């Protein structure tokens, strides 16, 4: 492009014409530089401590970042010892930014007498219903003595409210005295 | 010119010498020392622009600014996600180029994705998939800035013109605000790789 071309020699005059002058009508190429900016978001799931949406004969207390306790205010009728119904609905702010599953686990399959089973006319377990709603889906189950899990698989990420409702069943035989206990685990886990 | 010739032999000798000298005598008579020759030179420099590879510019406001690089032409955000909110963490980078353009020119800045956009992967309700940012370019007297709002995956372009030749540093600053996403403030970002390509183009007006 920068070569010189001699096109004439006459009468002692040298004429030099720059070749780029001849090619001035050619398109001047644009100069392009690029800068790529990027970052990575890891797959994460989070559940915050819940708030109580509604309750009857039960209260929720936060125990730690990852745990809380539902206390049934009056487990049995003080007159006849028969289990009283209770209900509580909890709302968890939750997020999972990747495909995942929500799992509800019952460890005992019922609100069960901590000191162990009893024989005879008294009951040592309170059955209860669980219902969970997350990412537009819901699952439910009644626990009647067998532990088990409830699962909502989610193909995408989700952010919003996870609702968990627990309802103990009243009635039946009078309860044996003692402390009754159940552990329910709510888990969001990224799909492997 | 006067020569005295005494005999024929001498005459022949003189004639022979004159014959040998004749071309030179003729040439000598044609020399004109006062002759001037004009030599016109007509040339033009080609129009060109050049940009060197990118380099990090110092950012006195805060060390690091949550970015590393550029490595080659890549700037990497160290932590794109705030571990507490799972939304965008603030980041900034200032990248400098040495550049020159020897004619009045147009400068075009393009964002390929209109934000840092995630590639393949699941989306989901309430999950953001793009990160807005502000880019500011300074080149001589020229300043161009744009806000890539991340609302749609379209190419964004801004154009400026320079009335003359410019040589010196060209800087590009990218600012990402905390919690900025395509869904609104503090939405969680979906897992994956996010990126955008900012192109700087110099060319004729």
The per-residue pLDDT for range A102-114, each reduced to its tens digit, is 999 999 999 999 9
Res B160 pLDDT > 80: yes
8 Å CB contact of A38 and B193: yes
pLDDT higher than threshold 70 for residue B82 = yes
| CA–CA min distance B22, chain A (Å) | 27
The whole-number pLDDT of residue B11 equals 53
Residue A133 has pLDDT above 60, yes or no: yes
Q: Do A41 and B38 touch (CB under 8 A)?
A: no
Report the alpha-carbon distance of residue B189 to residue B133 in Å, rounded.
Answer: 15
Q: Which of residues 73-132 of A touch B (CB under 8 A)?
A: 95, 97-99
In this complex, is the C-beta atom of B38 within 8 Å of any C-beta atom belonging to chain A? yes
Measure CA of the first residue to CA of the last residue in chain B; give whole Å: 75
pLDDT reported for residue B60? 55
> What is the spatial order of strands in the sheet that A13-18 belongs to?
A4-10, A13-18, B41-42
Its pTM surpasses 0.95: no
Within 121-140 of B, beta carbons closer than 8 Å to A belong to 121-127, 133
Residue A44 sits at the chain B interface (C-beta within 8 Å): yes
Residues 6 or more apart whose Cβ sits within 8 Å of residue B10: none
- With an 8 Å Cβ cutoff, is B101 touching chain A? yes
Banded model confidence at residue B130, pLDDT cuts 50, 70, 90: very high
- Does the pLDDT of residue A67 top 50, yes or no? yes
* Contact at CB, B202 and A30, closer than 8 angstroms: yes
* pLDDT at B15 exceeding the cut of 70: no
Provide the pLDDT confidence category of residue A16 given band limits of 50, 70 and 90. Answer: very low
pLDDT tens sequence across A164-181: 999 999 999 999 999 999
Average confidence (pLDDT) over B68-75: 87
- Is A17 an interface residue toward B (CB < 8 Å)? yes
Cα B82-A90-A86 angle, rounded to 5 deg: 160
pLDDT bucket at B33, cuts 50 / 70 / 90? low
Least CB-CB distance to B125: which of A27, A32, A135? A135
Q: Quick check: A82 pLDDT over 50?
A: yes
- Span of A127-136, B45-54, B104-113 with lowest mean pLDDT: B45-54
Among A86-95, B18-27, B43-52, top mean pLDDT goes to: A86-95
**Model pLDDT, residue B123:** 74
pLDDT-derived band at B45 (thresholds 50, 70, 90) equals: confident
């Amino acid at each position: 492009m920068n070569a010189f071309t001699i096109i004439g020699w006459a009468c002692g005059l040298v004429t030099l014409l720059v070749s780029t002058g001849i090619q001035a009508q050619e398109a001047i190429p644009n100069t392009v530089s690029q800068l790529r900016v990027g970052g990575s978001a890891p797959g994460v799931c989070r559940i915050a401590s819940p708030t109580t949406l509604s309750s009857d004969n039960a209260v929720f207390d936060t125990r730690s970042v990852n745990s809380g306790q539902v206390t049934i205010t009056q487990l049995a009728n003080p007159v006849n010892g028969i289990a009283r119904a209770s209900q509580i609905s909890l709302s968890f702010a939750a997020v999972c930014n990747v495909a995942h599953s929500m799992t509800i686990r019952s460890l005992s399959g019922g609100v069960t007498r901590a000191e162990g089973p009893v024989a005879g006319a008294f009951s040592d377990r309170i059955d209860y219903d669980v219902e969970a709603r997350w990412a537009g889906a819901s699952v439910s189950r009644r626990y009647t003595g067998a532990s088990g899990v409830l699962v909502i698989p989610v193909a995408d990420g989700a952010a919003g409210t996870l609702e968990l409702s627990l309802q103990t069943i009243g009635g039946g035989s009078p309860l044996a005295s003692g402390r009754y206990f159940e552990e329910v685990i709510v888990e969001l886990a990224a799909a492997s | 010119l006067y020569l005295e010739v005494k005999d024929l032999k001498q005459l022949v000798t003189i004639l022979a010498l004159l014959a040998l000298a004749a071309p030179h005598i003729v040439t000598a008579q044609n020399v004109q020392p006062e002759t001037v020759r004009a030599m016109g030179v007509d040339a033009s420099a080609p129009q060109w622009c050049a940009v060197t590879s990118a380099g990090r510019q110092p950012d006195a406001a805060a060390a690091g600014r949550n970015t590393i690089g550029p490595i080659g032409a890549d700037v990497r955000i160290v932590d794109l996600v705030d571990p507490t909110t799972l939304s965008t963490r603030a980041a900034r980078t200032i990248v400098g180029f040495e550049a020159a353009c020897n004619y009045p020119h147009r400068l075009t800045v393009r964002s390929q994705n209109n934000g840092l956009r995630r590639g393949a992967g699941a989306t989901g309700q309430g999950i953001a998939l793009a990160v807005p940012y502000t880019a500011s370019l300074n080149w001589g007297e020229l300043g161009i800035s744009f806000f890539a709002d991340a609302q749609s995956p379209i190419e964004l372009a801004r154009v400026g013109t320079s009335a003359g030749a410019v040589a010196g540093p060209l800087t590009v600053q990218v600012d990402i605000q905390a919690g900025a996403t395509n869904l609104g403030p503090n939405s969680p970002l979906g897992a994956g790789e996010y990126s955008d390509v900012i192109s700087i183009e110099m060319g004729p007006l």
